[in-house]
């Protein structure tokens, strides 16, 4: 079931930075997020709704300054064509609440060849 809240409800639940990135499609500065260099094992969840999004086993160091994963948890994320900023990209959103998470690019490692470039501020980590 889709999580739906008003803009005011999201603002009261999230920090200003979380609201900007997750609900207004912003981006945190590279190398500034709490998870870009995180090595702990666990499940990365959506900061907005708590749904599991990525497993730590799929995380890799892409050198970009944002947490990167080669695969999302099945049915946890949606991908949407993004034509903003004069380029064609694929936006990644939480399938449960439509939170903007980041973008996916076709330059990741095997086995998928994908790089889900995700803003740390959009995530919580449930450590094992």
Low-confidence ranges of the chain (pLDDT < 50): none
CA distance 81 to 116: 14
Domain count, the chain: 1
Within a domain: 112: yes
What pLDDT shows up at residue 71? Answer: 97
Choose, from 49, 94, 117, 122, the residue flagged as catalytic. 117
CA count, 13 A, side-chain hemisphere, 22:
28
Q: Domain residues for 56?
A: 7-127
Of 25, 32, 1, nearest in space to 93 by CA: 25
Within a domain: 1: no
Within a domain: 104: yes
Average pLDDT value for the chain = 95
What pLDDT shows up at residue 86? Answer: 76
Q: Is 97 a catalytic residue?
A: no
Q: Read off the CATH number of the domain in which 14 is found.
A: 2.170.150.20
CA distance 57 to 39: 10
User: What tokens does 67 get?
Assistant: 């947490």
Within a domain: 84: yes
Within a domain: 42: yes
- Residues with Cβ within 8 Å of 68's Cβ and at least 6 positions away in sequence, in order, are 59, 60, 61, 62, 108, 115, 116, 117, 118
């Amino acid at each position: 079931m889709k999580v739906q809240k008003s803009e005011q409800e999201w603002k009261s639940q999230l920090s200003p930075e979380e609201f900007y990135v997750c609900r207004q499609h912003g981006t945190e500065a590279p190398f500034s997020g709490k998870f870009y260099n995180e090595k702990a094992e666990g499940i990365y969840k959506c900061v907005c709704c708590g749904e599991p999004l990525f497993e730590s086993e799929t995380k890799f160091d892409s050198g970009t300054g944002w947490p990167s994963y080669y695969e999302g948890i099945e049915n946890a994320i949606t991908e949407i064509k993004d034509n903003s900023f004069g380029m064609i990209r694929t936006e990644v959103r939480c399938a449960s609440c439509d939170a903007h998470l980041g973008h996916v690019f076709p330059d990741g490692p095997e086995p998928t060849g994908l790089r889900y470039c995700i803003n740390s501020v959009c995530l919580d980590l449930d450590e094992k």
